[in-house]
Structure 1
């Protein structure tokens, strides 16, 4: 089979996957798993969210027998949705960084909120939470696999995942450009190294990055509206809790270990240019 044939088959396999981006298949996203199945590197029974129906779909495409889900990859189950206990949340942003479809909104040291209609139930936000404030209740009753999911939801999840990956790539490129500019600025102050200033100036000129940033503006408009609505709901809830004398209880009482995780996350955000250099971690040790 040629490379072109493998890529074409991978496209068809990817179209049959639920696009939860959960990594339970053993690959970082649905697309890499599709490519692995197409090349024969992975089995077609490694996707728990797709379940038995998903295996049957892939078997029909590949001309293979229907086999059981590989238990090493998990079990078929009703679809869950992440719910954050906002009175326990400490605003560390680790869950936001883990979400593969940008279904969590919030800000450092503020309560986070899951946009339920965007959540794929991937579970990836649960392990990094340092205060165990995320629950994953089932929302589909007894329905599992494709009975608990739809092609429309899968297509939307894939689009959000792809937009997120493109955004992260732009942010990395922008961070690299800023780092190059800083190096150029340092080099410009050293008359013995004029070539460094020139190289830095060239690096900061990135019309391709600007064009890519503008390309997604329309596609992101709807998502921004959804996020804004979710933030407004979170704001109203926060006001209601405050009126009752309630609210996030842990933001000012964080253990040294948890604070170290938050500080490390914020340091990574600054290195990537995702936070202002003036935003210093406020350790409470």
Structure 2
């Protein structure tokens, strides 16, 4: 009888130790999210425009990770589709024209002398780039504006214009070079190089 109590007690203690170890490991090594979703979301332009059919870039990134087409983001354009195809190791496909067309980067500009302060544009802005108060003039914080165009339609006096951003020497960059394959002389092994 004593042996049975010792065996049972040993098993109970062992079960508590294993349970505690598993509980600690589940907290210590918890994964906060799907890392591929985060990588996809980093490639998307973060305009939160909804042209892809999703309410923002993060939900679209989750849909892409679950197999949705990579070609539904007009603001990301061809470069975005190419980067997504590289990341996911899938074929590059043309932009789905039913979602819209790729435009140059734009920002909203409020003609302040016509603004009536209705706050409808503030409510529509997904990134809080419009500031102002009720019955007072509003303005757009240009560096925060993603050019999503969602503030234009709700404006009752049509005082918001979408203006293309000019490329200046401050924001221009060289295009990313294409990898080229070169054969090494001594062993005839193809090597990827960047020129």
How far does residue 8 in structure 1 lie from its aligned partner after superposition? Answer: 2.5
In the alignment, does 2:32 pair up with 1:32? no
Partner of 1:152: none
Q: Deviations over 1:241-280 (max 9, x none)?
A: xxxxxxxxxxxxxxxxxxxxxxxxxxxxxxxxxxxxxxxx
Structure number having the greater helix percentage = 1
Between the two proteins, the alignment pairs up a number of residues equal to 139
The CA distance in 2 between the partners of 1:47 and 1:18, in whole Å, is 9
In 2, Cα distance between equivalents of 1:27 and 1:39: 14
Quick one: distance in 2 between partners of 1:55 and 1:9? 16
User: What's 2:38 paired with?
Assistant: 11
SS in 2 for 1:52: helix
SS at match of 2:107: coil
**Deviation of 1:135 (Å):** 0.2
State the TM-score, normalized to the length of structure 2. 0.67
User: What is the CA-CA distance between 1:23 and the residue it aligns to?
Assistant: 0.9
Cα deviation digits, residues 139-162 of structure 1 (max 9, x gap): 135xxxxx79xxxxxxxxxxxxxx
Q: Identify the structure with the greater strand proportion.
A: 2
Q: Does 1:55 align with 2:88?
A: no
1:75 corresponding residue in structure 2: 101
Match of 1:23 in 2: 50
For residues 45 and 10 of structure 1, the distance between their equivalents in structure 2, rounded to whole angstroms, comes to: 16
Tell me, yes or no, if structure 1 residue 113 matches structure 2 residue 134. Answer: no
Distance 2:97 2:125 in 1: 24
Task: Please tell me whether Structure 1 or Structure 2 has the larger radius of gyration of its CA atoms.
Answer: 2
Q: Distance in 2 between matches of 1:33 and 1:140?
A: 28
TM-score (norm 1): 0.47
Name the structure, 1 or 2, with higher relative contact order (CA <8 Å, separation 6+). 1
Unaligned 5+ residue runs, structure 2? 1-30, 174-195
